[in-house]
C-alpha cells in the first residue's frame, strides 16, 4: 500500500498554525511513511513556522476581504483567482488522500479545490464563533471538528464532532519541568512569576497595561516573563534593563515558560484557552474586543463562568491593580482557579481529530 499524502492548510496566526502542526505530528506518529505538505498564505507567519517544525509548505497570494473599502479589496478578486489556480496545481501534483483545514485565508481556496475534485476534507474550528472561511467551507466538507457546544447555528449538525482543540503535547507534562523552566529563564526560585501573553503578533492594550504597571509589579516583588509580540518588540525591549522583567518577541519554549509560571495574563483566543486549560495555572483573561462577534470574550466567559479564570475586559482595566494584587496574595484563590480550569481541559483532542481523519482515509 502506498504511503498516504496529507495536505494541511491553515495559518495567519499561531492559533491556526499550531493546531495544524499538532495534527500533522499525530498523523506522523501513526503513519511514519506519510507524506505531508502544508499550504499557507505568502508573507504570513506559517511560511516561517511550518518549515521550522520540519514540514514543507507552499504559499498562496491571498489575504482577507476587509469590511471597509481598501486597496486590498480591489486586488482581492485577483488574489482569489490566483490562489484557486495555484491550489488546484498543488492538489494535482501532490495528489492528497485527505485535505485538512484549520482556518486562515489559505485554507479557503485549498479546500474548495479539494472539494471540487472529490477529495475527503475536514476542518477544525477552534473558536466558539467560526470565521467566514470555515463557515463557507462547512457546507461541503465531510467532517467538522469543534471545541465548543452550540455550533449547529453555523454548521450542518450531522458533520459536527466535538473534539476540543489540539495542543502541544509537551504541555501535558509541565509539572515535571518547574525547576528546568525557572533555570531556563534565569528566574529567582523564591519569587512569584507572571507570564504575559498577547498572542504571536502581540496585543497593544496588554503591552500598554504591563508598561503602565511596572512600578506596581516591582512593589509586589514579582518577576515577569513578557511576550510582547513581533509587532511591539522594538517598542518594549528597553524594559529588559529592569532586573525583574524579561521582554521576548516570541517564546519558542512555551512548555518551560508555563512550567516556570505562577500566574498568567493572556488574551483568550481559542488555542490559548485550550492550552491554558491543559496547563492548569491561575489565569487573568483580557479578551481582544477587535475580533468577529467578540468571540474572545465568549471564550473567556465560558471558563470564568465555571470559576476557572478571572475575566477582565479592556474597558475595566482601571481595576487591574486591585484585582491582580488580591489574586497575588490569595494562594487559596490561585489553587481554586488552577483546579477548576484544569477540569475543563480536553487533553485528547488531537487524538480525537486524527481518529476522524483516519476514518476518512479508510473510507
pLDDT of residue 52: 93
Same-domain status, 354 and 323: no
Same-domain status, 182 and 154: no
Same-domain status, 263 and 221: yes
pTM: 0.82
Same-domain status, 322 and 183: yes
Same-domain status, 152 and 174: no
Is residue 321 pLDDT above 50, yes or no? Answer: yes
Whole-number Å distance between alpha carbons of 133 and 105: 7
295-304 and 270-279 are packed helices; what angle lies between their axes, rounded to 10 degrees?
20
What digits encode the pLDDT tens for the residues 131-185?
888 999 999 999 999 998 889 999 999 999 999 999 888 898 999 999 999 999 9
Same-domain status, 83 and 39: yes
Same-domain status, 209 and 321: yes
What digits encode the pLDDT tens for the residues 251-286?
989 999 999 999 999 999 988 999 999 999 999 999
Residue that wins the pLDDT comparison between 65 and 143: 143
What digits encode the pLDDT tens for the residues 193-244?
999 998 777 899 999 999 999 999 999 999 999 999 989 999 999 999 999 9
Indicate the pLDDT class of residue 65, thresholds 50, 70 and 90.
Answer: very low
| Beta carbons of 29 and 23 less than 8 angstroms apart | no
Same-domain status, 160 and 186: no
CATH of the domain at 141: 3.40.50.2000
Per the annotation, where are the binding residues for UDP-N-acetyl-alpha-D-glucosamine? 13-15, 127, 168, 200, 251, 296
Average pLDDT for 298-308: 94
Encode 143-172: b = buried (16+ Cβ within 10 Å), e = exposed: bbbbbbeebeeebeeebbeebbbbbbbebe
Q: Which of 5, 22, 12, 8 is nearest to 275 (CA)?
A: 22
Q: Which of 189, 22, 185, 199 is nearest to 102 (CA)?
A: 22
Cell (9 digits) for 253: 519554549
pLDDT of residue 353: 98
Q: How crowded is the C-beta side of 237, counted as CA atoms within 13 Å?
A: 9
Same-domain status, 203 and 315: yes
Q: Structurally, how many domains does the chain consist of?
A: 2
Same-domain status, 352 and 293: no
Same-domain status, 187 and 334: yes
Q: Which element (helix H / strand E) includes 325? A: helix 320-329
Q: Which strands form 193-197's sheet, in the order they lie side by side?
A: 245-248, 223-227, 193-197, 263-266, 283-285, 310-311
Same-domain status, 142 and 229: no
Average pLDDT for 17-43: 94
pLDDT of residue 45: 87
| Beta carbons of 230 and 250 less than 8 angstroms apart | yes
Q: Residue 78: which domain range?
A: 5-166+348-362
Per the annotation, where are the binding residues? 13-15, 127, 168, 200, 251, 296
Amino acid at each position: 500500500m502506498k504511503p498516504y499524502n496529507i495536505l494541511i492548510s491553515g495559518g495567519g496566526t499561531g492559533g491556526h498554525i499550531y493546531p495544524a502542526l499538532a495534527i500533522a505530528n499525530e498523523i506522523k506518529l501513526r503513519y511514519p511513511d506519510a507524506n505531508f505538505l502544508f499550504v499557507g498564505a505568502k508573507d504570513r507567519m506559517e511560511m516561517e513556522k511550518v518549515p521550522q517544525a520540519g514540514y514543507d509548505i507552499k504559499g498562496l497570494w491571498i489575504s482577507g476581504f476587509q469590511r471597509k473599502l481598501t486597496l486590498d479589496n480591489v486586488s482581492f478578486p485577483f488574489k482569489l483567482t490566483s490562489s484557486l489556480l495555484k491550489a488546484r496545481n498543488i492538489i494535482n501534483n501532490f495528489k492528497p488522500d485527505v485535505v485538512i483545514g484549520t482556518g486562515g485565508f489559505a485554507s479557503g481556496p485549498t479546500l474548495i479545490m479539494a472539494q471540487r475534485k472529490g477529495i475527503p476534507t475536514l476542518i477544525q474550528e477552534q473558536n466558539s464563533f467560526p470565521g467566514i472561511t470555515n463557515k463557507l467551507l462547512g457546507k461541503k466538507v465531510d467532517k467538522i471538528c469543534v471545541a465548543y457546544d452550540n455550533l449547529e447555528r453555523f454548521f450542518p449538525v450531522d458533520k459536527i464532532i466535538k473534539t476540543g482543540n489540539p495542543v502541544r503535547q509537551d504541555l501535558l507534562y509541565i509539572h515535571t519541568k518547574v525547576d528546568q523552566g525557572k533555570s531556563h529563564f534565569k528566574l529567582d526560585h523564591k519569587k512569584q512569576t507572571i507570564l504575559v501573553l498577547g498572542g504571536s503578533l502581540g496585543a497593544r492594550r496588554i503591552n500598554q497595561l504591563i508598561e503602565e504597571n511596572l512600578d506596581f509589579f516591582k512593589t509586589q516583588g514579582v518577576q515577569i516573563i513578557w511576550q510582547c509580540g513581533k509587532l511591539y518588540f522594538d517598542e518594549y525591549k528597553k524594559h529588559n534593563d529592569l532586573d525583574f522583567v524579561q521582554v521576548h518577541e516570541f517564546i519558542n519554549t512555551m512548555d518551560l515558560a508555563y512550567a516556570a509560571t505562577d500566574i498568567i495574563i493572556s488574551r483568550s483566543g481559542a488555542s490559548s484557552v485550550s492550552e491554558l486549560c491543559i496547563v492548569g495555572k491561575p489565569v487573568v483573561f483580557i479578551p481582544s474586543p477587535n475580533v468577529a462577534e467578540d468571540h474572545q470574550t465568549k471564550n473567556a466567559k465560558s471558563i470564568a463562568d465555571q470559576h476557572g479564570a478571572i475575566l477582565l475586559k479592556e474597558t475595566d482595566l482601571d481595576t487591574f491593580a486591585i484585582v491582580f494584587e488580591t489574586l497575588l496574595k490569595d494562594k487559596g484563590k490561585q489553587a481554586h482557579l488552577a483546579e477548576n480550569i484544569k477540569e475543563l481541559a480536553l487533553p485528547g483532542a488531537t487524538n480525537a481529530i486524527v481518529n476522524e481523519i483516519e476514518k476518512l482515509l479508510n473510507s
